[in-house]
């Protein structure tokens, strides 16, 4: 029987996690990293994102962070851009 971890490997994939530096987002990032994903952390607080990306890197994950405000995407979409 194949282990569940082998069925859901994410090697070579990039996971974008909005709000990935707080609470549930941290657990999601760690879980995705365990499955082999590269982790892109996006959120409005660039410093917190960068600090958590550094923590993930120290744990052996490929992770980085960027400042991103999700609500601005919806504003652009509403304007038809």
- Considering only residues 79 and 2, tell me which one the structure prediction assigns the higher pLDDT: 2
In this model, does residue 44 exceed pLDDT 80?
yes
User: Using the 8-state DSSP alphabet, how is residue 22 labeled?
Assistant: S
Q: What is the pLDDT of residue 81?
A: 47
Q: What is the pLDDT of residue 10?
A: 95
- Considering only residues 60 and 74, tell me which one the structure prediction assigns the higher pLDDT: 60
The answer to whether the beta carbons of residues 29 and 20 sit under 8 Å apart is: yes
pTM above 0.85, yes or no: no
């Amino acid at each position: 029987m194949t282990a569940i971890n082998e069925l859901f490997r994410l090697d070579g994939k990039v996971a974008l996690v909005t709000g990935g530096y707080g609470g549930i987002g941290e657990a999601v990032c760690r879980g995705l990293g365990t499955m082999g994903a590269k982790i892109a952390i996006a959120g409005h607080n660039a410093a917190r994102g960068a600090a958590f990306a550094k923590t993930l890197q120290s744990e052996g994950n490929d992770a980085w962070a960027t400042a991103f405000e999700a609500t601005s995407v919806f504003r652009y979409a509403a304007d038809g851009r």
